Amino acid sequence: MAGSLLIRNAEVAGHAGLVDVLARDGRIVAIGPALTAADDAPTIDAAGASVVPGLHDHHIHLMATAADAASVRLGPPEVVDRSGFERALTGADGRLPAGAWLRATAYHHSVAGDLDRDGLDALVPDRPVRVQDRTGARWTLNSAGVTAAGIDGLDAPEVERDPCGRPTGRIHRGDALLRGRLPAPDHVDLAQLGTQLAARGVTAVTDTTPYTSLSDLDRLAAAVRSGALPQRVVVTGGPELAGKPVPPGLEWGPVKLVIDDASYPSVDAIADGIATAHRHDRCAAIHCVTRASLALAVAAWDVAGARPGDRVEHGSVVPDDLATDLVRLGLTVVSQPGFVAERGDEYLAEVDADDLPFLYRCRSLLALGVPVLASTDAPYTRPDPWRAIAAAVERRTPSGQILGAAERMPVQDALALCTDGPVAVGGPADLCVLSAPLRDPTDVEVVATIRAGTVIWFPTG
Ligand SMILES: [Zn+2]
């Protein structure tokens, strides 16, 4: 816990003119003009710039985001066609030490079609390779990877096989299965990720990975305890961990349940998952990226009952009739408007015309009475909530088209989606000092990040 910290001459939403913000013992104790602190209290002069709440990325996958920094990206915008795909893979093969796994992410079928082990073998025969698709639902391994992970003799529904029974290399929703069969990820640098997040003003994250084993959380917990991750870290885990004690350093959030659009679970099975979460005094967070999966989730909540704090993760498509159900059940939507900024042109070309008006809604859901939070879902978009905020404000696709003009919202409203509440007396001193008054969310520079009254990021020099 820190002593005192004083920020002077700041623009703070809800306060007229420039004010000072005084923090003591991790909380904000005063906001107003001409405050004073103890002589030795650190003081930051905001010089008329905005002080905003520390950002909370409400849906992120920390381990995968850290691993992504050491992975090859095989999808747009970095790689868009087969020749780029081949160059990226063979180039990475040439750089890595012999025998090391080649990990690739962000693959999209528009680049080089549907992948399988034989296609990967033709490019990289001698080392184990695994390629994750852009949705995160599928890994494709080459033959060396299939052998190294011991997939050949494995009888598991996640492992796709051809009519002769030979694994195709495709593993569907098999993260938990693969985790025990791959070498420990040495290349995951959580300290680097912690600094990267702090540099963008992030003071809290919710890791929504549906981990099945408490030991999967060991590295995150250790990184929080050592300070490598200076953020407050909330974790979900899957239903397997619902009743388990949370590892020291972490906080339990909702229990993560996944509705897989490739094989729908029954309403009763989903309702069981919700009931399990509630029985352990935790909320439920259900992954829904289609209209059909959201309808299933609503049906399950109708069976199991909803409690405040239960959430729909993504809510990629929320038509009005289902929005009415969300209001009735009191559910929160945790959206990723950043997908509009990163993939909006593909959505305009490929998504059903019926669904387009309902993609990653934020403003219109709020207007209907649905609480909305926003997030990056990194590594599936970049781990920078300011990009999500800018996308909620502008709704601009990479080519500059506007997707969902009616969803555009004022910057302060978009900012609120990525926080835990306004800068207020009595609230936590989790703050972000900007370089200028907050007007244009596409051009935000963070000059200091403060968590519980302690500066966790300040540019050097
Ligand atoms: Zn996610």
Express each pLDDT in 134-148 by its tens digit: 989 999 999 999 999
What is the 378 CA–ligand 1 centroid distance (Å)?
A: 7
Q: Quote the mean pLDDT of the chain.
A: 95
What is the pLDDT averaged over residues 380-398? 97
- Residues forming beta bridges with residue 43, ordered by sequence position: 6
Express each pLDDT in 2-24 by its tens digit: 689 999 999 999 999 999 999 99
Place 460 in a pLDDT band, splitting at 50, 70 and 90.
low
What is the 153 CA–ligand 1 centroid distance (Å)?
A: 30
What is the 336 CA–ligand 1 centroid distance (Å)?
A: 10
What is the 380 CA–ligand 1 centroid distance (Å)?
A: 8
Residue where a domain terminates, one of 179, 206, 234: 179
Residue where a domain terminates, one of 179, 205, 237: 179
Query: Could you tell me the strand order of the sheet in which 159-161 lies?
Result: 72-73, 102-107, 129-133, 138-141, 167-172, 159-161
- Give residue 254's identity as a one-letter amino acid code: P
Give the pLDDT of residue 68: 87
> Alpha-carbon torsion 394, 397, 399, 402, what sign?
negative
The number of domains in the chain is 3
What is the 372 CA–ligand 1 centroid distance (Å)?
A: 16
Residues 394 and 257 in one domain: yes
Express each pLDDT in 419-431 by its tens digit: 999 999 999 999 9
Place 1 in a pLDDT band, splitting at 50, 70 and 90.
low
What is the 402 CA–ligand 1 centroid distance (Å)?
A: 24
Residues 198 and 249 in one domain: yes
What is the 59 CA–ligand 1 centroid distance (Å)?
A: 6
Residues 345 and 379 in one domain: yes
What is the 260 CA–ligand 1 centroid distance (Å)?
A: 13
Express each pLDDT in 236-264 by its tens digit: 999 999 999 999 999 999 999 999 999 99
What is the 339 CA–ligand 1 centroid distance (Å)?
A: 12
Residue where a domain terminates, one of 179, 203, 237: 179
What is the 374 CA–ligand 1 centroid distance (Å)?
A: 12
What is the pLDDT averaged over residues 259-282? 97
Q: What is the pTM for the complete model shown?
A: 0.90
Q: Rounded CA gap, 151 and 147, in Å?
A: 6
What is the 41 CA–ligand 1 centroid distance (Å)?
A: 40
Domain that holds residue 237: 55-62+188-421
What is the 333 CA–ligand 1 centroid distance (Å)?
A: 13
- Residues forming beta bridges with residue 251, ordered by sequence position: 234
